Amino acid sequence: MISAAIDFLFSQDLYGLLTIFWFYFIFELPRYSLSTLAVGWRAAFEREPPAPPAQMPISVLLVGHNEGHALERAVRGLHEQTHGNLQIVVVEDGSTDDMAAVGARLNSARLIQRFFSTGIRGGKAAALNLGLQFCDHEFVVVMDVDTSLDNDAIGRVTAPLVADPTCGAVAGNLAVRNPDQSLLTKFQALEYVSSISLGRQFTGMFDLLMIVSGAFGAFRKSAIRDVGGWDVGPGDDSNLTAKLRRAGWRIEFAPDAWALTDVPHTSGAYFRQRIRWNRSIIRNRLRKFFIVFDPRQANFTLRDVFASLNVLWFQLGLSFAYVFYVVNLFIEYGTMALPLIMAIHILGMFGDLLEFSVALISLRRLRIARLLPYVFGFTFFVSYYDRAIRIIAYVSELIFRNSYHDAFYPTKVRAAQDQF
């Protein structure tokens, strides 16, 4: 069967190959090409923005629930930043561990400038909105408690805000801190390189960036207030970014502002995280912000149309198109579909290797060479395991609106939200 498939492919002209492998040429090839283009463009033309003066005051906002084990490490890490004038604001959101006690101790030691313990869980959005009220400065860096930063990351992530008064937010660069914990974390480390370190360079370069990750990003405080702060619900970071874009603020990416974060190392934790993330795409892009496609809106812009289409095309469209593609191959070619599917995975592996090579050369701060053997399995991980989770999330959200019942936010908060 394999030899027959090889003979069949070699007998095809260019049109025939395009017909057989249309999925690769429409969805996969552009992804590799655009990432490579972005890195090459930056290396050739873009200049690194200057870091803000060390005396410029910047607020750093950390909110957490049951993160007493990580809070002190995060705070002490901030005191090692090359940018010295930081106001550290911490909000403890109704934790049941020792986070309140750790925060109070750090506050007493004057390692934290503002500390608030809510006593009752209100959810991440409520904690962020509370903390923002006590951030004294115009530039605010928001990060997760379990995120660790390069010692120059604060200066680098806020530099675009200083350089451009129309910039409302800046996404920092994220890498995986625990890639050696399991095979799953190794695949996620490769995914972060592809989708964040390389992918967001492209979207940032063409003003298509649709998310400033809650794990690490910088904001103009007046811009957040301009759009009413964070909204309740999963995907609060992408939701805020969309509101900022709609209000006319520019969103930028700072590729040299590095942060590390832990990723799930078990399949159960990974499944729950990705289900929540992918449901938010339906909730925010198709429901809440589908209005970006309406040219009758006063704030209609083509940049928002292209930015939303980019997300929907490469995440929602790609996932369902692959299912259709595989089914269609079996209908058209019968048992020969299997070697044809393997052929498209071989093409995908070459694309992943190209992308990995570009990352290896350009992302010198990441020690990713040891991940090379896992690139081959990564292709199948993305194609089947990760894509299956995406489809489950999309279908469940489209039919059952499950994000509105997500335990990520307290029941009382979700009940109050349902009234509106």
Local structure of 172: helix, strand or coil = strand
Q: Over 60: is that where the pLDDT of 173 sits? A: yes
Quick one: what percent of the chain has pLDDT higher than 90?
78
Q: Per mean pLDDT, which of 41-45, 46-50, 120-124, 401-405 is the most reliable?
A: 120-124
Kindly report the number of other CB atoms within 10 A of residue 13's CB atom: 8
Name residue 52's amino acid: P
Local structure of 75: helix, strand or coil = helix
Residue 225: what pLDDT?
Answer: 98
Q: Which residues contact 257 (CB under 8 A, 6 or more apart)?
A: 150, 152, 153, 154, 156, 157, 170, 172, 173, 216
pLDDT tens for 71-121 read: 999 999 999 999 989 999 999 999 999 999 999 999 999 999 999 999 999
Q: How many CA atoms lie within 13 A of 260 on its CB side?
A: 15
On whether the CB atoms of residues 244 and 251 are closer than 8 A, the answer is: yes
Average pLDDT over residues 37-64: 80
Residue 55: what pLDDT?
Answer: 83
Residue 187: what pLDDT?
Answer: 98
Mean residue pLDDT of the chain comes to 92
322: pLDDT confidence band, cut at 50, 70 and 90? very high
Average pLDDT over residues 20-33: 89
Residue 54: what pLDDT?
Answer: 77
Distance CA 358, CA 24 (A): 20
pLDDT tens for 133-157 read: 999 999 999 999 999 999 999 999 9
Quick one: what percent of the chain has pLDDT higher than 70?
95
Q: Over 80: is that where the pLDDT of 205 sits? A: yes
Can you give the three-state secondary structure of 397-417, one letter per residue? HHHHCHHHHCCCCCHHHHHHH
pLDDT tens for 357-400 read: 888 888 876 678 899 999 999 999 999 999 999 999 999 999 99
Q: Over 80: is that where the pLDDT of 41 sits? A: no
Kindly state which CATH superfamily the domain 58-265 is placed in: Spore Coat Polysaccharide Biosynthesis Protein SpsA; Chain A (3.90.550.10)
Q: Over 70: is that where the pLDDT of 415 sits? A: no
Domain boundaries, the chain: 58-265
Q: Return phi, psi of residue 114, to 5°.
A: -135, 130
Query: Whole-prediction pTM value?
Result: 0.94
Q: Show contacts of 364-373: CB within 8 Å, 24+ apart.
A: 365/150, 365/258, 366/175, 366/193, 366/197, 368/189, 368/190, 368/193, 371/179, 371/186, 371/189, 371/190
pLDDT tens for 263-321 read: 999 999 999 999 999 999 999 999 999 999 999 999 999 999 999 999 999 999 999 99
110 conformational bin, left if phi > 0, alpha if psi -120 to 50, beta if neither: left
The edge-to-edge listing of strands for the beta sheet with 139-144 is: 114-117, 86-92, 58-64, 139-144, 216-220, 167-176, 250-261, 148-149
On whether the CB atoms of residues 139 and 56 are closer than 8 A, the answer is: yes
Can you give the three-state secondary structure of 354-394, one letter per residue? HHHHHHHHHCCCCCCHHHHHHHHHHHHHHHHHHHHHHHHHH
Distance CA 384, CA 393 (A): 14
418: pLDDT confidence band, cut at 50, 70 and 90? low
Q: Over 50: is that where the pLDDT of 420 sits? A: no
Q: What is the DSSP letter of 111?
A: S
Q: Over 70: is that where the pLDDT of 6 sits? A: yes
pLDDT tens for 224-233 read: 999 999 998 8
Q: Over 80: is that where the pLDDT of 403 sits? A: yes
